[in-house]
Amino acid sequence: MLDLIFLLMLSAVGMLVWDCIEVGKNDAANLINGVFGARILSRRLAVWLAGAAVVLGALFSSPVMETARKGIFDPGQLQIQQAMIVYVAVYIVDTALLHAYSAYGMPVSTTASLIFELVGAALGVSFSLGIVHWEKVGAVLNAIGVSILLSGVAGFLIQRVFRAAIQDEDTNHMRVLLHGPWVAGLMLTWLVWFMVLKGMRAVTPVAALGAWAINHLGTVGFLLVTWGVLTLVLHLLLTVFQERLSRRLFSGLAVIGMLCLAFAFGQNDLANGASPGLSAFWLWKNAEAGTGLASGLPIPVWLLAICGLLMVLGMNTKSAQRVTRAAVNTGSQFDHIALYAPTWCRALARVFLRKRPEVPELAPPPHLNDHGKRVHFDPLRAAVIMSVSASVIAFASSNGFPVSTTYVTFAAVVATGMGDRTMARGDADLKIGRAIWVVSSWVFGSVIAMAGAALVAWVLLKLGGFGLMIGLGGNMVLRAYVRRRADQHEVLYHPKVSREEA
């Protein structure tokens, strides 16, 4: 049995590397949606900057790590071999699922997939509903749903208000001088609140400073004072530097928002992807010491940092480019875009659009940058997408809920597009149809994740080492098949960008 446990541990650690790269191809690829869509930074530079922030965010990921490791099911009800089978089964299914979605440019949530895989695998080895903490599962799923709704509603309302103030003149000095300080000050205020006071409250000096400020000013007072000070400072800077700053104000805010979102991702989704493999390693180590299950052992920060670097490697792949491109195109301000959506999704979208009134456009006119690339968002919208997404993820992480960065960022892209009315013109049925297809795939993916993990865990339990060979072999065959079909799909629907980056 110990030999099988050792084999399971090696498989889990090896697939941890694999899974982190797959998470980088999909979830992490969404970190740069706003900045890349607005062509503020090159994709490569954006990826490396976001990657550095992901690694830094890993320093503060412990609350989410504990939720993923022992919040979904009770490893204490299992023998060590059974618990390790759960973690290996999760990885066998997760790597195949993420690879398939990424190859087709479909965003999927590592968080939701992991939760359903843990539930399915735990049921597959125990055959007992009591092993799952259903209340915790419900709470996490509820948090994911609320985060999507919050990101969508906040993205729509904030984009509509800020667009009314700035209009399509985000680089006009007089317009930015009039409205830029309070708009940018408001964005920075909620980033300070959610990212620093909420997301970093595990840091003692930050927690002490936040407690002192709240005790003296109150929550509302602190927010108003922070907003006022930042607005004044930004107004003075715009007065001094004038056009040099006004042309770059919202671009800079978008980059700051991206870094905050990546930091929050490091707190949240990175912990989810790393949790099964690191937990399996510590289970094996504890079994060798003869002290039983090791669910309470701490995870070294340097291991999470390595996982962050692996995700950055995944962000630099062709599949990650497909995921980013498809999400950006869904909310693009261009009328005609290259996307795929099934016929039934486009038909359903046309039902929603049938009685739409003629409305004026709010977003800036579509244009190309100096390198001939499409500018899908203006810097104002990019800043809203990034800052809203970062705030929602940071708030969830501070409360120990492993919510989905993918869901939140996709909701922000679509909602701000609706706020700018880009989803009601041109290929509107294709854009909305794609959004319907993506959301539908989230539901399908959750069912596949749970059923697949239960089946794989049962095979591993019954067949041992031979079952492990079957699971890994099936994973490799499926990956090769999906890659071939996805490349054919890419040539069919994206003949131009299949030869060069969008």
Nearest to 359 by CA among 411, 427, 422, 305: 422
pLDDT tens for residues 301-334?
777 788 888 888 888 888 888 999 889 999 898 8
CB distance 57 to 263 below 8 Å: yes
- Give the residue-averaged pLDDT of 199-204: 64
Kindly calculate the radius of gyration of the chain based on its CA atoms and give it in whole angstroms: 23
pLDDT tens for residues 141-158?
888 888 899 999 999 999
Listed in sequence order, the residues at least 6 apart from 169 whose beta carbon sits closer than 8 Å to its beta carbon are 175, 176
Query: Of residues 401 and 131, which shows the higher confidence score?
Result: 131
The encoded tokens of residue 192 equal: 């300070």
pLDDT at 492: 82
DSSP string, 50-81: HHHHHHHHGGG-HHHHHIIIIISB-GGGS-HH
- pLDDT of 91 strictly over 80: yes
pLDDT tens for residues 174-189?
999 999 999 999 999 9
- pLDDT of 73 strictly over 70: yes
Burial of residue 462 (CB within 10 Å: 0-12, 13-18, 19+) is exposed
* Percent of the chain surpassing pLDDT 90: 38
To the nearest whole number, what is the mean pLDDT of the chain?
84
pLDDT at 111: 80
- Give the residue-averaged pLDDT of 149-169: 92
Most confident of 75-84, 190-199, 262-271: 75-84
pLDDT at 65: 52
Query: Of residues 414 and 80, which shows the higher confidence score?
Result: 414
* pLDDT band at 480; cut points 50, 70, 90: very high
- pLDDT of 2 strictly over 70: no
Q: Distance between CA 26 and CA 36 in Å, rounded?
A: 15
Q: Which residue has the tokens 């799923």?
A: 141
* pLDDT band at 288; cut points 50, 70, 90: low
* pLDDT band at 499; cut points 50, 70, 90: very low
- pLDDT of 413 strictly over 70: yes
Most confident of 1-5, 328-332, 353-357, 493-497: 328-332
pLDDT at 109: 83
- pLDDT of 501 strictly over 50: no
Q: In one letter, which amino acid is 341?
A: A
Nearest to 327 by CA among 134, 101, 161: 101
Number of Cβ atoms within 10 Å of the Cβ of 196 = 16
132 bridge partner residues: 73
* pLDDT band at 295; cut points 50, 70, 90: very low
* pLDDT band at 500; cut points 50, 70, 90: very low
Query: Of residues 131 and 236, which shows the higher confidence score?
Result: 236
Query: Of residues 37 and 74, which shows the higher confidence score?
Result: 37
- pLDDT of 138 strictly over 60: yes
Terminal CA-CA length for the chain:
51
Query: Of residues 361 and 150, which shows the higher confidence score?
Result: 150
Mapped onto helix, strand or coil, the DSSP state of residue 375 is: strand
pLDDT at 141: 85
* pLDDT band at 264; cut points 50, 70, 90: confident
pLDDT at 405: 82
pLDDT at 498: 45
- pLDDT of 294 strictly over 50: no
